């Protein structure tokens, strides 16, 4: 940008006309030039303020990115800004660098990155009425920390011994090993140093418990949360508090990685392996990866914590020669005195054939827990009653007319529902094609397991926990409370229940149908299955009662289950990494996915074929491409979907290519109803 610098050009002569360069929320890879308001020259200190600018017939909110004296536009065409909004301090330079990196790395327009990460109230032209934020901490009493275990002490000592500056730590600790306690101690140190902490968690569902815990530890410290479950006003308020430096601890989900924190001193990413750190639409960023950039760019420590780290992070930490880019810290045991990891066993379903999905061994184990007044959790990662309805007479199946997917039977509210587009219709008594009245439900979801258990144990109090029963925060908190108060004997749940919750009376976990993911087409499926089963197993036996985990499987000898029996993440990760290295899959290669959606598959595929023929691919021999193919869910909401994978063993080479490719793609004419997007480091293939 010739003529543009963050500082003003102070010359002896009459100052040249001032130009303000503004980022706007538009799908265009450029910034927009304006003049300062007529009576108000701007100075370098104004960079980072939001502005209101005329755009076409409307007013838009933008952010001042630079001031300068040169513009591509002739001076006569420059319009003045309508107003500089100084209701909050200017966004700090570190925030600009993060947004700029995000835009460059994910090949997204800078203005979109910048504006889309602001709370809606700060993006809209209507003036918001700011109210002071309410720090949660002020309500809570202080809580004395427990004395540390030897492993926790060691981890903290290692971190304290490092010189200040960027350090990435991978805190690998089994479930219940006290990772959160380590985060709290670190945050304590950072508070004492007068700096802000950013604590990222994967899901809103995890925040209430953690929020209480952090608030209880640091009363009056200025804790705020940032996640999509907050109302718009609360989100704006908390975001402002972060920017003003009033919030000293920010607890949030992936979008909070963009929270402006002028005095940031520490980043923690809890459950760093979790897929919800990846934004799945719009700007498809990984909050974990951006957090690592942010820590390095700001010269601060970052802690990535997990019982089952992502293979990407593990490969960064586990280098045997100690030259890993992350420093590995381990908490191999549960923190509470006497609490042990649960015993994990497989149930061979070839011998103990499940009836209605449940083997005799599992039923017996549940019965024992009932007799002792303990809780059981039956885990099945599929909600609804049955994944599909069929007609035995003519072979009709319940199929979504908008997607390449089945309609799932939800008996609880008598409907067939598409889990991809949300379409739903009432269950009819007869087959829509042949009129046969004998429709059958095929396969099993949580509602069906709930029903089967209800018949088998009529005296038991059964609670189903999935996205249908815990559809909002209020429902979810009510469910959690009744579980903790011992108002349920058997829980039937999806992975919603697997994460981070502490249920002291829970001593049995049964995984009903884990095999499905073993041979899935997505080569990341085993990594995810292992993490999920580790997490859900971690719910059992947290306190003085030992826990047991039963896995119903046809493949009890599979290395994944064998590693689970031994709680052996390390050897399983090592095995997967060897496979990935041989196959040249990530983390040993870097990938990007170009996806197209169109009313007809042929259009989507021919767009991708043209993309593959772009000169950028020829010019970058280090990058290879695969054939364009329909996506696994090849049709969603009446649009056909296809994808094209490109990869390279060199991340910089891939980035250079993507830059050229995106400009070539944007110059290509596309059919009016075709949409495409690029995803860097895709996780769902």
Under rule CB under 5 A, residue 266 binds Zn ion: no
- β partners of residue 305: 171, 270
Query: Which of ligand ADP, Zn ion, none binds 400 (CB below 5-8 Å, type-dependent)?
Result: Zn ion
C-beta closer to Zn ion: residue 293 or 423: 423
C-beta closer to ligand ADP: residue 153 or 638: 153
C-beta closer to ligand ADP: residue 152 or 620: 152
Query: Which of ligand ADP, Zn ion, none binds 591 (CB below 5-8 Å, type-dependent)?
Result: none
Q: Which window, 146-154, 157-165, 186-194, 587-595, contacts ligand ADP (CB under 6 A)?
A: 146-154
Q: Which window, 141-149, 188-196, 523-531, 573-581, contacts ligand ADP (CB under 6 A)?
A: 141-149
Rounded to a whole number of angstroms, the minimum distance from the CB of residue 636 to ligand ADP is: 36
C-beta closer to Zn ion: residue 460 or 637: 637
Strands 623-625 and 639-648: antiparallel
Under rule CB under 6 A, residue 178 binds ligand ADP: yes
Nearest Cα to Cα of residue 119 among 133, 109, 138, 105: 133
Question: Tokens standing for 151?
Answer: 């492993």
Question: Tokens standing for 190?
Answer: 């950072």
Nearest Cα to Cα of residue 344 among 510, 523, 208: 510
Q: CB atoms < 10 A from the CB of 462, how many?
A: 19
C-beta closer to Zn ion: residue 136 or 400: 400
Q: Which of 26, 52, 104, 148 binds ligand ADP (CB under 6 A)?
A: 148
Query: Which of ligand ADP, Zn ion, none binds 677 (CB below 5-8 Å, type-dependent)?
Result: none
217: left (phi over 0), alpha (psi -120 to 50) or beta: alpha
Rounded to a whole number of angstroms, the minimum distance from the CB of residue 148 to ligand ADP is: 5
C-beta closer to ligand ADP: residue 175 or 625: 175
Q: What angle do CA 315, 318, 319 make, to 5 degrees?
A: 90
Q: Which window, 56-64, 402-410, 463-471, 516-524, contacts Zn ion (CB under 5 A)?
A: 402-410
Query: Which of Zn ion, ligand ADP, none binds 205 (CB below 5-8 Å, type-dependent)?
Result: none
The dihedral of CA 185, 187, 190, 194: what is its sign?
negative
Rounded to a whole number of angstroms, the minimum distance from the CB of residue 159 to ligand ADP is: 16
CA distances from 32 to 23, 28, 206 (A): 6, 10, 40
Under rule CB under 5 A, residue 51 binds Zn ion: no
CA distances from 155 to 116, 150, 185, 325 (A): 37, 9, 11, 17
CA distances from 280 to 101, 277, 467 (A): 19, 9, 18
Question: Which residues have C-beta within 8 Å of that of residue 441, sequence separation ≥ 6?
Answer: 385, 386, 388, 389, 409, 411, 448
Under rule CB under 6 A, residue 342 binds ligand ADP: no
Q: Which of 431, 449, 452, 608 binds Zn ion (CB under 5 A)?
A: 431
Q: How far is CA 62 from its chain centroid?
A: 27
What is the DSSP-derived secondary structure letter of residue 137? G
Under rule CB under 6 A, residue 179 binds ligand ADP: yes
Q: CB atoms < 10 A from the CB of 158, how many?
A: 14
C-beta closer to ligand ADP: residue 148 or 404: 148
Separation CA 665–CA 594 (nearest Å): 10
What is the DSSP-derived secondary structure letter of residue 534? H
Separation CA 188–CA 186 (nearest Å): 5
Under rule CB under 6 A, residue 205 binds ligand ADP: no
Under rule CB under 5 A, residue 418 binds Zn ion: yes
Q: How many residues bind ligand ADP (CB under 6 A)?
A: 14
Query: Which of ligand ADP, Zn ion, none binds 342 (CB below 5-8 Å, type-dependent)?
Result: none
Q: Pattern of binders to Zn ion over 381-400, x per CB under 5 A?
A: ----------x-xx-x---x
Rounded to a whole number of angstroms, the minimum distance from the CB of residue 212 to ligand ADP is: 12
Under rule CB under 6 A, residue 547 binds ligand ADP: no
C-beta closer to Zn ion: residue 434 or 516: 434
Query: Which of Zn ion, ligand ADP, none binds 180 (CB below 5-8 Å, type-dependent)?
Result: ligand ADP
C-beta closer to ligand ADP: residue 180 or 279: 180
Q: Which of 216, 283, 336, 525 binds ligand ADP (CB under 6 A)?
A: 336
Query: Which of Zn ion, ligand ADP, none binds 146 (CB below 5-8 Å, type-dependent)?
Result: ligand ADP
Q: Which window, 148-156, 377-385, 429-437, 448-456, contacts ligand ADP (CB under 6 A)?
A: 148-156
Beta strands in 536-627 (DSSP E): 548-553, 590-598, 623-625
In order, the DSSP letters of 204-243 are: GGGHHHHHHHHHHHSTTS-EEEE-TTS-HHHHHHHHHHHH
Q: Which window, 44-52, 125-133, 171-179, 221-229, contacts ligand ADP (CB under 6 A)?
A: 171-179
Within 355-384, which residues bind Zn ion (CB under 5 A)? Answer: none
Under rule CB under 6 A, residue 541 binds ligand ADP: no
Q: Which of 300, 403, 560, 642 binds Zn ion (CB under 5 A)?
A: 403
In order, the DSSP letters of 96-136 are: HHHHHHHHHHTT--HHHHHHHTS-HHHHSSSPP-------G
**3-state SS class at 325:** coil
Rounded to a whole number of angstroms, the minimum distance from the CB of residue 561 to ligand ADP is: 23
Under rule CB under 6 A, residue 432 binds ligand ADP: no
Under rule CB under 5 A, residue 296 binds Zn ion: no
Nearest Cα to Cα of residue 633 among 488, 504, 521: 521
Separation CA 400–CA 410 (nearest Å): 14
Q: Which of 97, 296, 399, 402 binds Zn ion (CB under 5 A)?
A: 402
CB-side neighbour CA atoms (13 Å) of 413: 10
C-beta closer to ligand ADP: residue 391 or 534: 534
Quick check: 40 and 84 in contact, CB under 8 A?
Answer: yes
| Binding region for ligand ADP (CB under 6 A) | 146, 148-149, 152, 173, 175-181, 335-336
Which residues here bind Zn ion, judged by CB under 5 A?
Answer: 391, 393-394, 396, 400, 402-403, 418, 420-421, 423, 431, 433-434, 436
């Amino acid at each position: 940008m010739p003529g543009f610098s963050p500082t003003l050009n102070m010359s002896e002569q009459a100052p040249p006309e001032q130009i303000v360069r503004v980022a706007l929320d538009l799908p265009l890879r450029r910034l927009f030039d304006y003049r300062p308001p007529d009576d108000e020259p701007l100075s370098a200190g104004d960079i980072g303020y939001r502005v209101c600018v005329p755009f076409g017939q409307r007013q838009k909110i933008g952010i001042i990115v630079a001031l300068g004296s040169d513009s591509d536009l002739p001076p006569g065409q420059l319009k003045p800004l309508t107003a500089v909004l100084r209701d909050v301090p200017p966004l700090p330079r570190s925030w600009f660098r993060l947004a700029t990196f995000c835009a460059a790395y994910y090949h997204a327009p800078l203005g979109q990155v910048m504006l889309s990460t602001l709370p809606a109230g700060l993006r809209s032209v209507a003036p918001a009425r700011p109210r002071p934020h309410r720090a949660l901490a002020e309500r809570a009493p202080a809580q004395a920390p427990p004395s540390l275990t030897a492993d926790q002490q060691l981890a903290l000592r290692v971190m304290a011994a490092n010189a200040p500056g960027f350090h990435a730590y991978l805190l690998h600790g089994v479930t219940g090993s006290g990772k959160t306690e380590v985060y709290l101690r670190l945050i304590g140190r950072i508070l004492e140093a007068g700096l802000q902490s950013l604590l990222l968690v994967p899901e809103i569902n995890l925040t209430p418990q953690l929020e209480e815990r952090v608030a209880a530890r640091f009363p009056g410290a200025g804790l705020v949360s940032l996640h999509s479950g907050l109302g718009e006003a609360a989100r704006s308020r908390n975001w402002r508090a972060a920017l003003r430096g009033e919030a000293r601890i920010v607890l949030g989900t992936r979008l909070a990685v963009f929270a402006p924190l002028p005095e940031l001193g520490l980043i923690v990413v809890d459950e760093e392996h979790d897929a919800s750190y990846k934004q799945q639409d719009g700007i498809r960023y990984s909050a974990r990866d951006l957090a690592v950039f942010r820590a390095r760019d700001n010269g601060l420590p970052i802690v990535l914590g997990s019982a089952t780290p992502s293979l990407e992070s593990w490969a960064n930490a586990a280098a045997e020669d100690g030259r890993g880019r992350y420093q590995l810290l381990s908490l191999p045991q549960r923190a509470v005195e006497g609490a042990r990891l649960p015993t994990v066993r497989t149930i061979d379903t070839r011998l103990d054939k499940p009836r209605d999905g449940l083997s005799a061994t599992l039923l017996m184990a549940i019965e024992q827990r009932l007799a002792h007044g303990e809780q059981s959790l039956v885990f099945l990662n599929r909600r609804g009653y049955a994944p599909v309805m069929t007609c035995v007479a003519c072979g009709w199946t319940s199929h979504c007319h908008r997607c390449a997917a089945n309609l799932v039977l939800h008996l609880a509210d008598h409907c067939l529902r598409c889990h991809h587009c949300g379409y739903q219709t009432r269950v009819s008594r007869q087959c829509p094609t042949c009129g046969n009245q004998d429709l059958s439900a095929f396969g099993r979801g949580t509602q069906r397991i709930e029903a089967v258990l209800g018949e088998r144990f009529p005296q038991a109090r059964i609670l189903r926990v999935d996205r249908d029963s815990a559809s909002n925060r209020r429902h979810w908190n009510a469910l959690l409370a009744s579980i903790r108060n011992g108002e349920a004997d058997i829980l039937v749940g999806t992975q919603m229940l697997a994460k981070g919750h502490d249920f002291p009376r829970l001593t049995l976990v049964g995984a009903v149908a884990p095999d499905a993911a073993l041979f899935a087409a997505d080569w990341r499926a085993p990594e995810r299955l292992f993490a999920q089963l580790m997490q859900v197993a971690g719910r059992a036996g947290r306190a003085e009662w030992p826990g047991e985990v039963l896995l119903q499987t046809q493949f009890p000898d599979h290395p994944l289950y064998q590693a689970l029996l031994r709680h052996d993440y390390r050897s399983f990760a090592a095995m997967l990494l060897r496979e990935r290295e041989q196959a040249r899959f990530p983390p040993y290669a870097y990938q990007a996915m170009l996806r197209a959606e169109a009313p007809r598959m042929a259009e989507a595929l021919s767009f991708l074929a043209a993309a593959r023929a772009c000169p950028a691919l020829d010019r970058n021999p280090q990058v290879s491409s695969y054939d364009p193919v329909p996506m696994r869910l090849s049709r969603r909401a009446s649009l056909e979907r296809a994808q094209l994978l490109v990869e390279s063993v060199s991340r910089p080479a891939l980035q250079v290519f993507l830059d050229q490719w995106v400009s070539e793609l944007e110059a290509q004419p596309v059919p009016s109803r075709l949409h495409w997007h690029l995803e860097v480091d895709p996780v769902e293939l």
